[in-house]
Amino acid sequence: MQIPIEISARHAHLSKSDLEILFGPGFELTKLHDLSQTGQFAAKEIVELVGPRGPLDGVRILGPVRAQTQVEVSETEARHLGLNPPVRDSGNLDGTPGVKIIGPKGEVILKQGVILALRHIHINPATAVEIGVKNYDRVKVDTSGTRDLLFENVLVRVDPSFKLAMHIDTDEANAAGIDADNHVGEIIVP
């Protein structure tokens, strides 16, 4: 089955309390544009990160707010910051490094929450049944082009709200030559 491949650039999900520290009491995120997954959006707001080795600016906030703050960067960006985050699925933050987050109204010293996102696919229950996978399975996704590769160990996330899409980070997209002209993969169920 073919699947659209979407590239996740560096971004942060914020808790309500961290949002208010960074942007002020009672602040609400402003939608820049919807993302492919229902209810998720890119906000106009951006923050700066400061790690032990250097800063990283232009980190977009994705909404809505979440229970805990989570920062997703590429390995390239993590090295620039001087951090060594593990590859994790979303929300699995125990033992991950922290980082300083700077907003227009304040700073948050995040104790943990920086990850490299585990490559994954979003799929709805009907399509999951159709191809024979369930939540938390692993599949492979084959790409094409000059930098043709096969992503193995791709996490499957199933939810009725999901639209079929694979999410990879910028390093993975660059390594696979994924861009506006080449952004469809083939799901391979082991």
Stretch of residues binding a copy of itself (CB under 8 A), selected from 12-20, 43-51, 56-64, 164-172: 164-172
Q: Which of 119, 120, 167, 183 binds a copy of itself (CB under 8 A)?
A: 119
**Residue 146 engages a copy of itself in binding (rule: CB under 8 A):** yes
**Residue 189 engages a copy of itself in binding (rule: CB under 8 A):** no
Between the CA of residue 170 and those of 3, 5, 6, 72, 77, what are the distances in Å? 18, 12, 10, 11, 10
**Residue 161 engages a copy of itself in binding (rule: CB under 8 A):** no
**Residue 184 engages a copy of itself in binding (rule: CB under 8 A):** no
One-letter amino acid of 120: H
Task: Map residue 42 onto helix, strand or coil.
Answer: strand
Between the CA of residue 15 and those of 51, 102, 143, 173, what are the distances in Å? 20, 14, 35, 28
Stretch of residues binding a copy of itself (CB under 8 A), selected from 41-49, 56-64, 128-136, 142-150: 142-150
Instruction: Give the total of residues touching a copy of itself (CB under 8 A).
Output: 24
Closest of 1, 32, 43, 3 to residue 162, by C-alpha? 3
Cβ proximity to a copy of itself: between 85 and 103 the closer is 85
φ, ψ at 130 (rounded to 5°): -55, -40
List residues near a copy of itself by CB under 8 A. 74-76, 86-87, 118-119, 146-153, 168-172, 174-177
